[in-house]
């Protein structure tokens, strides 16, 4: 392999140049500098969470709690327990690692670390974490599935909803 100046370099040096360009500090595993913890390093450098807007959690359904019904919210909500029904929100929904959610969901953004079954309509993005499982249909402009996550269903990619101002001219 050749570097930018035409010098011959090995695979390790090539990886090192690549990470320098991306401004990522590689982390060696054991004594093998070629084996890098890429996923963890991306997370440490904020690459996976770059677009996640931090919202203050307004409500929590704690671990061990069960709820059957309709949830309507504005802001951020986290579910760590069991939920069955419908969820409508103008903010983000976080599904914790031990959660089981069986619902039709319509929210701005959803981050899944637990088990979700049903249909989801998302205005901005869905992110299924490596521990997350989602069974059902989703409509979203951005769909992120981390390595290790499970998705069984159909996805429909839609354009992000933008408020556009139409200007009409009078002739």
Which value, to the nearest 10 degrees, does the dihedral of the CA atoms of residues 42, 51, 20, 24 take?
-30
Q: Positive or negative, the Cα torsion across 106, 110, 113, 119?
A: positive
Picking from 71, 95, 108, 66, the residue whose alpha carbon sits closest to that of residue 83 is 66
Quote the pLDDT of residue 121. 97
The DSSP bridge partners found for residue 28 are: 36
pLDDT at 56: 77
Return the pLDDT at 158.
82
What pLDDT score does 159 carry? 77
Handedness of CA 131, 83, 135, 146 (dihedral sign): negative
Q: Which of 54, 88, 56, 94 is nearest to 72 (CA)?
A: 88
Q: Which of 147, 127, 160 is nearest to 39 (CA)?
A: 147
Return the structure tokens found at 54. 């931090």
pLDDT at 112: 97
Which residue ranges make up each domain of the chain? 1-50, 57-157
Segments of the chain scoring below 70 in pLDDT:
1-54, 160-171
Strand partners, 24: none
Residue 38, classed as helix, strand or coil, is helix
Please, which residues have CB within 8 angstroms of residue 48's CB and are 6 or more apart in sequence?
Answer: 42, 144, 146
Model confidence over 117-160: pLDDT tens digits?
999 999 999 999 999 999 999 999 999 999 999 999 999 998 76
Per-residue pLDDT at 97: 93
């Amino acid at each position: 392999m050749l570097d930018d100046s035409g010098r011959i370099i090995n695979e390790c040096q090539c990886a090192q140049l690549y990470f320098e360009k991306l401004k990522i500090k590689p982390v060696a595993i054991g004594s093998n500098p070629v084996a890098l913890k890429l996923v963890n390093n991306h997370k440490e450098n904020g690459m996976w969470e770059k677009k996640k807007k931090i919202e203050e959690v307004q409500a929590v359904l704690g671990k061990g709690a069960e709820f059957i019904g309709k949830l309507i919210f504005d802001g951020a909500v986290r579910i760590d327990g069991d939920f069955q029904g419908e969820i409508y929100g103008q903010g983000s929904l976080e599904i914790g690692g031990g959660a089981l959610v069986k619902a039709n969901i319509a929210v701005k953004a959803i981050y899944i670390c637990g088990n979700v079954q049903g249909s989801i309509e998302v205005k901005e993005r869905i992110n299924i974490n490596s521990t997350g499982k989602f069974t059902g249909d989703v409509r979203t402009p951005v769909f992120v599935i981390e390595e290790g996550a499970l998705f069984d269903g159909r996805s429909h990619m839609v354009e992000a909803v933008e408020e556009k101002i139409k200007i009409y001219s009078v002739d």
